[in-house]
A = this chain, B = another copy of it.
Amino acid sequence: MNLLRGIKRCGKMTYIISRQRSTVAASARPLTDNGKFDRPSIVTNEIPGPKTRALLERAAVVHNTGAINFFCDYEKSKGNYLVDADGNVLLDCYQQISSMPLGYNYPGFLDIYKDESSLVSVVNRAALGNFPPVNFTKDLETLLTVAPKGLTNVVTLACGSCSNENAYKALFMWYQRRQRGEEPLGSDQNIESCMMNKPPGSPNLSILSFSGAFHGRTLGCLSTTHSKWIHKIDIPAFDWPIADFPQLKYPLEEFKRENDAEEARCLAQVEELIERWRTKSPVAGLIIEPIQAEGGDRHASDDYFRKLRNIATKYDIGFICDEVQTGMAISGRFWAHDYWNLDKSPDIVTFAKKMITGGFFFSDEIKWKEGYRIFNTWMSDPSKFPILEHTLDVVKSEDLAARAAGVGEHLLSGLKDFERRYDFLSAARGRGTFCAIDAVDTNTRDSVVKTALSNGLLIGGCGEKTIRFRPSLIFSIQEADMALGILDDVMQKIAP
């Protein structure tokens, strides 16, 4: 502690020291291929620069541009470096909202599509559910190689929202199948009523979700999303139960007693809600993120999740684990819920983003018999499967989950150091490189993110006042040091 205080003002030195201390489980060999880039480079007075501003002005004539940060030159981008329209080179710790597993233009990836059999999938988009390409069976089997323990089935879908929407449908179907027992699926009464959106065919069932959760923005998903009001306002929602997600104090180990009590309170509330909703709109299942991402990188203990799983089992309702943002190795395990060591796996695990395709894994119990119940025209996009296959090869052969664990430990120790050194920062936390730290308020957080950008570092915000890191899986110790160094300069500028 004294040592850290002693070097409080030495800036970047900190990270050289902490790097030596860090236990890096991943291979020391740098995997990153950043091409010609070895650091950020800012060539405009501000970001967005003039070229982005000109493109924005044109786009704004026909399109809402309110969420556009800047335009990008993806041809010039490489590895962990994103190049913007104006030629600014940014160290990218956000990676397209955590959706690029191996950074930009990963070596050999352009060549995948120089093979005509892959390129054909780009120009002939199959209606996968009806007319899959001959490779599709193999692609499903490839997906199954990373199936969460206990889940032996998979369906592919186009995006995260579609994955969650259809996961809800699969749970509702499973729930009703057991209610129905031996009765036929298509009784006259069920058929007639469902066509009019009425029970019993369209039953009053619900999905229980959690305060601060984000599961997407289509109307079903949005009814389980509670992270930001701007996502929800003016949009009708299903009246489904919402339980408190534990609001823990960090560092978790220092506040164990309070946190245990908070988790116990929240778990009791889940049971209470399941009971209370029984007569109104029975809970068919619940959905939870292993780490609430959009809601502000909120963690809970592994024990909390195990107990939550047990509650689902006790009440015989489904348990969906939404790994859209946490999945694919970034947490230090392939699936973040691998940390929980569950006795009984989730019933459904949904994925998208870094998995290149959307979809969900599911247990044999959830399996439905009839075709066309979980279906749409495209059902994902076969042109994504060659990238997915190559990405999974790299993730496995280079053990990128272990790499994320090691690099993440290093990154987190840097953030914990910030927390000690800057009064306006707190709650450094993370698993793998899925790391975050809180600023004192929204304005300060926004100011950190903006100033970092103008210094060449792209990071994200989430929740009310959280700064989040979502680097690629090829993010290195050296780049973590560089990011921390830039951030340290930013913090010094911003410190009151």
Contact surface of A with B, Cβ cutoff 8 Å: 51, 55, 58-59, 62-75, 77, 82, 85, 96-97, 99-100, 104-106, 109-110, 112-114, 116-117, 119-127, 129-134, 136-137, 140-141, 144, 152-155, 158-162, 165-166, 168-169, 172-173, 175-177, 185-186, 190-191, 194-198, 201-206, 211, 216-221, 223, 226, 228-240, 242, 281, 352-353, 356, 367-378, 381, 383, 387
Most B CB within 10 A of own CB, among A109, A172, A235: A235
Closest chain-B Cβ to A43's Cβ sits at a distance in Å of 15
> Given known contacts A232-B194, A233-B185, is B159 in contact with A69 (CB within 8 Å)?
no
The answer to whether A72 touches B126, judged by C-beta atoms less than 8 angstroms apart, is yes
Nearest B residue to A157 via CB reads B159
Most B CB within 10 A of own CB, among A105, A113, A219: A219
The answer to whether B378 touches A381, judged by C-beta atoms less than 8 angstroms apart, is no
* A236-B203 Cα distance, complex, nearest whole Å: 5
Nearest B residue to A356 via CB reads B125
The answer to whether B197 touches A234, judged by C-beta atoms less than 8 angstroms apart, is no
Nearest B residue to A382 via CB reads B74
* A239-B238 Cα distance, complex, nearest whole Å: 10
> Given known contacts A116-B75, A190-B233, A197-B237, is B131 in contact with A70 (CB within 8 Å)?
yes
Specify which of B172, B235, B373, B374 is in contact with A202 (CB 8 Å cutoff): B235
Q: List the 4 closest pairs (A to B, CB-CB), nearest first.
A: A66-B371, A219-B220, A67-B371, A197-B237
The answer to whether B218 touches A220, judged by C-beta atoms less than 8 angstroms apart, is yes
Q: List 28 A-B contacts (CB under 8 A).
A: A59-B137, A64-B374, A67-B371, A68-B131, A69-B131, A71-B131, A71-B134, A71-B136, A72-B133, A72-B134, A74-B121, A75-B116, A96-B126, A99-B127, A158-B162, A165-B219, A169-B219, A169-B234, A172-B236, A173-B235, A177-B234, A186-B233, A194-B232, A196-B226, A201-B232, A217-B375, A231-B372, A236-B238
- For the complex, would chain A's binding face be called helix, strand, loop or mixed by DSSP majority? loop
* A104-B122 Cα distance, complex, nearest whole Å: 11
* A381-B194 Cα distance, complex, nearest whole Å: 34
Closest chain-B Cβ to A56's Cβ sits at a distance in Å of 8
> Given known contacts A140-B63, A186-B229, A194-B229, is B124 in contact with A77 (CB within 8 Å)?
yes
Closest chain-B Cβ to A210's Cβ sits at a distance in Å of 12
Please give, as numbers and ranges, the residues of chain B lying within 8 Å of A155 by CB-CB distance.
Answer: 63-64
Specify which of B58, B65, B130, B369 is in contact with A69 (CB 8 Å cutoff): B130
The answer to whether B71 touches A372, judged by C-beta atoms less than 8 angstroms apart, is no
The answer to whether B96 touches A367, judged by C-beta atoms less than 8 angstroms apart, is no
Please give, as numbers and ranges, the residues of chain B lying within 8 Å of A233 by CB-CB distance.
Answer: 176, 185-186, 190-191, 194, 201-202
* A137-B105 Cα distance, complex, nearest whole Å: 22
Question: Could you list 4 further interchain pairs (A-B, Cβ under 8 angstroms) beyond the known A100-B125, A162-B162, A176-B234?
Answer: A64-B374, A161-B218, A190-B233, A197-B239
Most B CB within 10 A of own CB, among A172, A197, A220, A374: A197
Please give, as numbers and ranges, the residues of chain B lying within 8 Å of A375 by CB-CB distance.
Answer: 67, 217, 231
